[in-house]
Amino acid sequence: MKEIRLLRANEIECRVSTISEKGISLLLYKDARVDQKILDETFTPFGWKRSHQSIDGNLYCIVEIYDEDKKEWVSKQDVGVTSYSEKEKGQASDSFKRACFNWGIGRELYSAPFIWIPANKVNIQPKGDKYITYDRFTVQYITYNEQREIDSLVIVNENGNLVYEKRGKVANLPVQPFLSDQQKKELSAELERTGVALETVLKRYKLETLEQMTEEIYEKAMKSLKRSKEKQAA
């Protein structure tokens, strides 16, 4: 059976776990759309199927994958839990994500370090006897070791400012880029059309490499390039 690849940076989301006047902690997670995308990509849309069943009032999801070698369907299942932090997500979605964890999709997130962002790097506001933040955070860069555990991790806020960094000893597996191949092609096309050098764009947004470009910065760069005129023919 095919090996399921590791999550890319743009497939990982950040959620505030705890918050105080001293700072916040973050959790990393994936959503059901990522699970569907990786299942389609790895086994084709016709190589897997999903079903649900209720057992003792709890909703379970069964994800089955067709084993080409054995010529049979192999299934794994898990139960859904509706938590207070995810009221908008139903048991169906939660059980599907948990079943996909059993298949190995996103299991590397269990190896995430404790992610703490101090108060000087996040906007924290008091609200009654609690604290809140409206800041949003993105995984900009991630690598894994040979055990498929998180090795390096860089998180930025919505302005592209670094808020958390963990540099691994050795990045044995390839860097998982933030931008998709299609986004890179579209950016390259705009750079070619305008004659603007990639180095100029990276310098403007204080980036060292294209791999550090978040989707938010990408959108800003594309809007700026599209407002630029075409380069003059030689």
Neighbours of 61 (CB within 10 A): 25
Count, in order, helices (H) and strands (E) of the chain.
Answer: 5, 11
**Model pLDDT for residues 46-99, shown as the tens digit of each residue:** 999 999 998 888 899 999 999 998 999 999 999 987 654 454 357 888 999 999
Instruction: Return the SS3 of 181.
Output: helix
Identify any residues that bridge with 131 across adjacent strands, giving them in sequence order. 126
**Model pLDDT for residues 126-173, shown as the tens digit of each residue:** 999 999 999 999 998 888 988 999 999 999 998 888 899 998 765 444
Instruction: Return the SS3 of 72.
Output: strand
Q: Residue 210 is part of which domain span?
A: 181-226
Residue at which a domain ends, from 105, 130, 163? 105
* Cα distance between residue 138 and residue 134, in whole Å: 13
Domain count, the chain: 3
Residues with Cβ within 8 Å of residue 170, at least 6 apart in sequence: 145, 151
User: Are residues 113 and 26 part of one domain?
Assistant: yes
Name the residue type at position 204.
R
User: Are residues 35 and 86 part of one domain?
Assistant: yes
* Cα distance between residue 213 and residue 84, in whole Å: 33
User: Are residues 88 and 190 part of one domain?
Assistant: no
